[in-house]
Chains A and B, each alone.
Chain A
Amino acid sequence: MTATATAPEGGKPGAHRRRNRWIGLAFAALPLGVYALVVLVPLAQSVQFSFYKWDGVSASTWAGLDNYRTFLTDPVLRSTFGHVLVLIGFFALLPIALGLLSAALLTRARQPGMAVYRWIFFLPQVMTTVVIALVFKRIYAPDGPLNTALRAVGLDSFAKTWLGDFTWALPALGMIGTWVTFGFCMVLFISGTSAIAPELYEAARIDGAGPVREFFAVTLPGLRGQMAVALTLTITAALRTFDLVWVTTHGGPGTSTLTPAVALYKAAFQNPQVGLAAAIGVVMALLCLVIAVVITRVSERD
């Protein structure tokens, strides 16, 4: 292969470049092949599966849009969308608000010791999700640190089995998401503000802007791109939550913490309704795509 690769003498540069592109295709063939086999083909099959009714063993029957209809009308399955909305509040909105607040407080400073703080804030991003789930299972346990702290300050009536409570299990899970993502948002925003031209801040200060006006006039507009990234990643993370829920509550108590991904897993592998599971996967993929496109479009406007 190397022998045929180059012969710079003769031939126009254009022809040379064109031949390079065929060699490029040969180089890319292996990665593209693996990618097509593992991602693209199953993606198409997901769509195909979603139109059939199949228990994973016996013959499948055509179901048209029934699986989608079930996903959108079955009260339990439909409730997963509501749960995702709650989770978005905790995974996306709260961490982004906290991240912006800290970035605003910290823009004026480039101080020693930042590296250590950055290390700490980013820590939840590299920790194994299953381990994070166990950490918080412990925090929320009936005799865990949270309840101990509540009892210590005399709030005994608030102490509860957080993850076993129909009302509180979902927000308790949401707080885990806040813990995981806020450091990421923070580091992202802080690195974003450091890229804003210092002249803009100087100009704002000469105009007599205080910290609050400075934030809205300079910092916030300068962070548009980072905001778009943070929103996309955290919203899709909320939509896709699986590990945390599966390890801590299995979707319970009842179905109060059921997410689409958990519903998909149950439908695909526990009590096989394969077509339904595929339909859930297709809807999730479409939602992720739409969210990413909409957020990017909005952030790039004007």
Chain B
Amino acid sequence: MISKTERVINYVVLTVLAALVLFPVGTFLVAALSPDRSGKPVGFSDFAWGNFATAWRDADFSRAMTVSIVVAVCVVAGQVILALLGGYAFGVLGVVGDKWLFPVVLLGMMISLEAIIVPLYYQFRTFGLTNSLPGIILIHLGMGVPFGIFWMRAAFRALPRSAFESAEMDGAGPLRMLRSMAAPMARPAIYTLILLSFMWTWNDYFLSLVFLHGDNQTATVALGVFQGKYVTQINLMAAGGLIVAAPVLVLYVVFQRKFISGMLAGAIKE
């Protein structure tokens, strides 16, 4: 249907744009593998794989990565539970007052962290929840509720009505229906929610910077500190950066379809 020249032009355009995206990442990768502290590119045989181990040790990533993993896992687990409950309520059961309650929930997707961070910090300080993991996990959870409800509500509404009706005939209560039927049937949407929630939590910088200090630093904040100290050691700084980016990138390699479709669908929420 399309001519050969058009096809060739398409590939040329795509390749040029792809190269523009990959070039900066590529230079970073090369710098991370350079034995030279300036990050000068070297041949394959001279790659300094040890940079990753050195950066890991010098930046004390064992601790920071542990913090990040603990926070991310707790947030993802909590997020899924809250989203299942909220999504099921708004999507299947209906909620008293949902005519105004649901818009209030959706509004949350447009409220940026900047609008609430100041009172959050000073309130949490009075309750001793600053510089504590439960505190930051709670904030991540609250910020994630609107998307979670929006996402799972849509997933539950896409399920065939008849399934609910026949389960109800069998005398299943709402909680059992959610656990044994609706949630398993909506599994693809739950997986996407898990991936997105993990990515957002892992990549967060602002919230961690404000709330966590010292031993509680997450990997992203620790990386910021590390790069400030290693300004002249480009190779280690780059290696550290790749370590922090790695968990999400690995998931992205494996689940690219879910990431892309989830983020596109999440964007087109109106």
Binding site for B on A (CB under 8 A): 1-3, 5-6, 8, 17, 20-25, 27-28, 30-32, 34-35, 37-43, 45-46, 48-49, 56, 98, 102, 105-106, 108-109, 111, 113, 115, 117-131, 134-139, 141, 143, 145, 179, 182-184, 186-188, 191, 225-226, 228-229, 233, 236, 240, 242-243, 246-247, 260-261, 264-265, 268-269, 274, 277-278, 280-282, 284-285, 288-289, 292, 296
Contact = CB atoms under 8 A, between A and B. Distances in A.
B18 A120 contact: yes
A28 B111 contact: no
B245 A21 contact: no
Interface in B223-249: 223-224, 227, 234, 237-238, 241-242, 244-245, 248-249
Given A42-B119, A49-B119, A123-B25, A35 B146 contact: yes
B186 interface: no
Interface of B: 1-2, 6-7, 9-11, 13-14, 17-18, 20-22, 24-25, 27-28, 31, 38-39, 82-83, 85-86, 88-90, 92-98, 101, 104-105, 108, 110-112, 114-123, 138-139, 141-143, 145-146, 148-149, 168-169, 171-176, 178, 199, 202-203, 205-206, 209-210, 220, 223-224, 227, 234, 237-238, 241-242, 244-245, 248-249, 252, 256, 259-260, 263-264, 267-268, 270
A49 B142 contact: no
A188 B21 contact: no
Contacts of A1: 173, 175
10 contacts: A28-B101, A35-B145, A42-B119, A46-B119, A120-B18, A131-B242, A240-B114, A242-B206, A281-B118, A285-B111
B202 A128 contact: yes
Nearest to A289: B110
B175 A5 contact: yes
B16 to A, nearest CB: 10
B122 A121 contact: no
Given A2-B176, A183-B21, A8 B171 contact: yes
Contacts of A20: 93-94, 174
A35 B17 contact: no
Contacts of A247: 205, 224, 227
Contacts of A102: 13-14, 17
Contacts of A284: 112, 114-115
A191 B85 CA distance: 31
A186 B264 CA distance: 11
A135 B241 contact: yes
Given A2-B175, A38-B141, A278-B118, A24 B94 contact: yes
A93 B246 CA distance: 30
Nearest to A228: B270
Contacts of B168: 6, 8
Contacts of A120: 18, 21-22
Quick one: which of A23, A123, A129, A138 has the most chain B CB within 10 A? A138
Tell me the interface secondary structure of chain B in the complex: helix
Q: Which 7 residue pairs across A and B have the least CB separation, nearest first? A: A38-B142, A5-B173, A24-B93, A285-B115, A45-B119, A31-B86, A28-B89
Contacts of A228: 270
A278 B123 CA distance: 13
Nearest to B9: A105
A21 B93 contact: yes
Contacts of B141: 34, 38
Contacts of A130: 203, 205, 220, 223-224, 241, 244
Given A34-B141, A130-B244, A288-B110, A24 B119 contact: no
Nearest to A121: B21
Contacts of A233: 267
Nearest to A3: B173
Contacts of A135: 24-25, 27-28, 241
Contacts of A246: 205, 209, 224
Contacts of A129: 203, 205
A114 to B, nearest CB: 8
B20 to A, nearest CB: 8
Quick one: which of B24, B248, B249 has the most chain A CB within 10 A? B24
B18 A39 contact: no
A23 B178 CA distance: 13
Nearest to B97: A25
A281 B234 CA distance: 35
Nearest to A233: B267
Nearest to A268: B118
B236 to A, nearest CB: 11
B186 to A, nearest CB: 15
A35 B110 contact: no
B112 A240 contact: yes
Contacts of B24: 135-136, 139, 179
A48 B116 CA distance: 11
B93 A31 contact: no
A32 B21 contact: no
B256 A31 contact: no
Given A6-B168, A127-B248, A42 B174 contact: no
Contact of A134 (B92, B174, B238): B238
A292 B13 CA distance: 32
Quick one: which of B14, B96, B227, B263 has the most chain A CB within 10 A? B14
